[in-house]
Structure 1
Amino acid sequence: MEYELCDHTADIAVAATGDSLESTFAAVANGLAAASCDEDEIGRAGERFSVSVVAENREALLFDYLDELIYRRDVRGELPVDHRVDAIDEPDETSTGRNDDSGAVWQLEASARGVPLAGISAREIKAVTYSEMRLERTDDDWEAYVVFDV
Structure 2
Amino acid sequence: MSYELREHTADVAVEATADSLGAVFAAVADGMAAAMTAETPDAGSRFTFEERAESREALLFDYLDRLIYERDVRNVLPVDHDAAVREADGEWVVEGSARGVPLNEVHARDLKAVTYSEMDLSEREADGGWHAYVVFDV
Q: Same fold (TM over 0.5)?
A: yes
Taking the aligned partners of 2:44 and 2:136, their CA distance within structure 1 comes to 24
TM-score (norm 2): 0.96
Equivalent position amino acid for 2:115 in 1: T
Q: Percent identity?
A: 62
SS in 2 for 1:90: strand
Give yes or no for contact 2:41–2:106 (8 Å, CA) kept in 1. no
TM-score (ref. length: structure 1): 0.89
Q: CA RMSD in A?
A: 0.8
Gapped runs of 5+ residues in structure 2? none
Match of 1:98 in 2: none
Quick check: 2:41–2:105 contact (8 Å CA) kept in 1? no
Q: Is the 8 A contact 2:112 2:137 kept in 1?
A: yes
For 1:77, the equivalent position in structure 2 comes to 75
**Following the alignment from structure 1 to structure 2, what is the Cα–Cα distance between the partners of residues 51 and 123?**
24
Q: How does 1:24-39 map to 2 (within 5 A)?
A: 24-39=24-39
Partner of 1:64: 62
Asked if residue 109 in structure 1 is aligned to residue 107 in structure 2, the reply is no
Mapped contact 2:24–2:132 kept (Cα < 8 A) = yes
For 1:132, the equivalent position in structure 2 comes to 118
Give the equivalent residue in structure 1 for 2:137. 149
User: Which residue identity lines up with residue 85 of structure 2 in the other structure?
Assistant: I
Cα deviation for residue 89 of structure 1 reads: 1.3
Deviation of 1:147 (Å): 0.1
- Post-superposition CA distance 1:17-68 (Å, at most 9, x none): 00000110000000000000013xx111000000210001000000000000
Which segments of structure 1 move beyond 4 Å, counting only runs of 4 or more?
Answer: none
- Give the SS at the match of 1:43: coil
| Aligned positions, number | 136
Give 1:100's aligned residue: none
Secondary structure (helix, strand or coil) at the match of 1:7 reads strand
Larger Rg: 1
Unaligned runs of 5+ in 1: 96-103
Tell me, what secondary structure is at the counterpart of 1:66?
Answer: helix
